[in-house]
Structure 1
Amino acid sequence: MKRAKAGALRRRHNPLRRTTDRIESWLTALTVLLIALGAPLAGTAAGGAAYDTLLETVRSQRAQRHLVWATVDRAAPSAPLDPDPETSTPRDSRLRVIARWTARDGSSHLGQVGAPRLVEPGARFRIWTDGRGRVMPRPMDTSTAGAHAVLAGLGVAGAVGGLIEGCRRLVMRRMTARRHRRWDEAWERAYQDWGRAGAGS
């Protein structure tokens, strides 16, 4: 411990240490501090805001979507060409049926819906609809909202950390370019003095 302190003091009072070296050290320390504190704070704030927004979506969907009973009328005709082969599977096409259901407002509907399992005509299962009977996806639940909020927070924290590090690298690159220009100027002056009387060469 004593040896480490002595080494730090020697580096601090080293006459060969330039002002730019001190600036780089402070810049690195500041970058570490900002990434360690700023990125998590930004991620937490973004995740919290996303969670609040998603919870509002959860409440809205739960209020607007309702479970109703659907009765299978017949199997749905298989489509000759799958419109989205990346998201649909042969199993999905087997589970498509023509069914009848009554909406929350009392209106009757007949349409193609996805069944939860292979079913025969006359079988019943529950589907999600809006107030006018249009088939809707299942409402988002709070666990899904929480997972999306966590991902949003992690994404923002990573982006903030990358932005801070990018700024540090940009400043360091400019400082290095400036240092190289000064070295070139110093070498140019030294080259002009070489071989002159009284130039010390």
Structure 2
Amino acid sequence: MRAITGIWRWRHNPLRRRSDLAEAWVALVALVLIVVAAPAVGVVAGTLSRDALYRSVQEQQSRRHEITATVVKKVAQPPLDPDPETSTARDAHSRVLATWTAPDGSAHRDRVVTALKTPHAGDTFPLWTDDRGNVVGRPLDRATATTHAVLAGFGAALAVTGLVEGTRRLVVWRMVRRRYARWDRAWDIAGPDWGRTGTGS
């Protein structure tokens, strides 16, 4: 709105310079781009991210399987990190030697991390594996994918807004520099005679 009122104010003002009108037009163009282009870019980026993430969700859910593993024995934990700023969530989990059967029917035995607080031999816990029984992370779900897509769209819109505003400031700064340069040249011409007009000197 400020850009629009600026253009209207300078439209028929006798004190208006060309640079004043140009600055107002630059501000108006920047405002239109921020209001129209930034949300459009955000929507496009969010949609593309969502589609890619949904494909990843489908692929992961088709290739990752939740199976039941059985604890053989608890494995000695590495020492806990005493610094709460650098300790990780893994410090709260238990390491165990476990066995499981892969979706392809092969038997596996390995050390894994479990959320069981006090694991004992024979305890069972869920474990995510690929088709061959290799331990993998939990597959991405659609809710998380949607959240990431929204954040990607929001970030893209913010990036466009910052780019447009930065460009506007740069253009206005250059226009002001040119104006000051013209003033300096005019002062160099008029300065030596300033105040002596009509004195007969």
Normalising to structure 2: TM-score of the pair?
0.87
The one-letter amino acid paired with 2:160 is V
In the alignment, is residue 185 of structure 1 matched against residue 185 of structure 2? yes
- Which structure 1 residue ranges, 5 or more long, are not aligned? none
The one-letter amino acid paired with 1:171 is V
Q: CA RMSD in A?
A: 2.5
Determine the structure 2 residue equivalent to 1:33: 32
Change (3 A) 1:195 1:27: closer
Q: Deviations over 1:59-108 (max 9, x none)?
A: 110111111110110011112476xx44245322xx22111001111111
Deviation at 1:11, TM superposition (A): 4.3
Q: Tell me the SS of whatever aligns to 2:100.
A: strand
Determine the structure 2 residue equivalent to 1:87: 88
- Cα pair 1:193 1:199 within 8 Å, conserved: no
- Cα pair 2:80 2:91 within 8 Å, conserved: no
The one-letter amino acid paired with 1:168 is R
Change (3 A) 1:104 1:195: closer
Q: How does 1:1-201 map to 2 (within 5 A)?
A: 11-80=10-79, 85-92=86-93, 95-118=94-117, 119-194=119-194
Normalising to structure 1: TM-score of the pair?
0.87
Change (3 A) 1:36 1:86: farther
Deviation at 1:51, TM superposition (A): 0.5
CA distance in 2, matches of 1:25, 1:134: 63
Q: Deviations over 1:156-201 (max 9, x none)?
A: 1000000000110010010000000000001000024447777998
Aligned residues: 193
Q: Tell me the SS of whatever aligns to 2:62.
A: helix
CA distance in 1, matches of 2:22, 2:144: 46
CA distance in 2, matches of 1:168, 1:36: 14
CA distance in 2, matches of 1:199, 1:75: 104
Change (3 A) 1:159 1:10: closer
- Cα pair 2:73 2:120 within 8 Å, conserved: yes
Q: Tell me the SS of whatever aligns to 2:41.
A: helix
Change (3 A) 1:199 1:35: farther
Deviation at 1:10, TM superposition (A): 6.3
Change (3 A) 1:197 1:54: closer
Q: Does 143-152 or 95-104 show the bigger shift?
A: 95-104
CA distance in 2, matches of 1:149, 1:200: 77
Deviation at 1:12, TM superposition (A): 2.4
Deviation at 1:125, TM superposition (A): 1.8
Deviation at 1:30, TM superposition (A): 1.1
Deviation at 1:9, TM superposition (A): 6.4
Q: What is the percentage of aligned positions where both structures have the same residue? A: 47
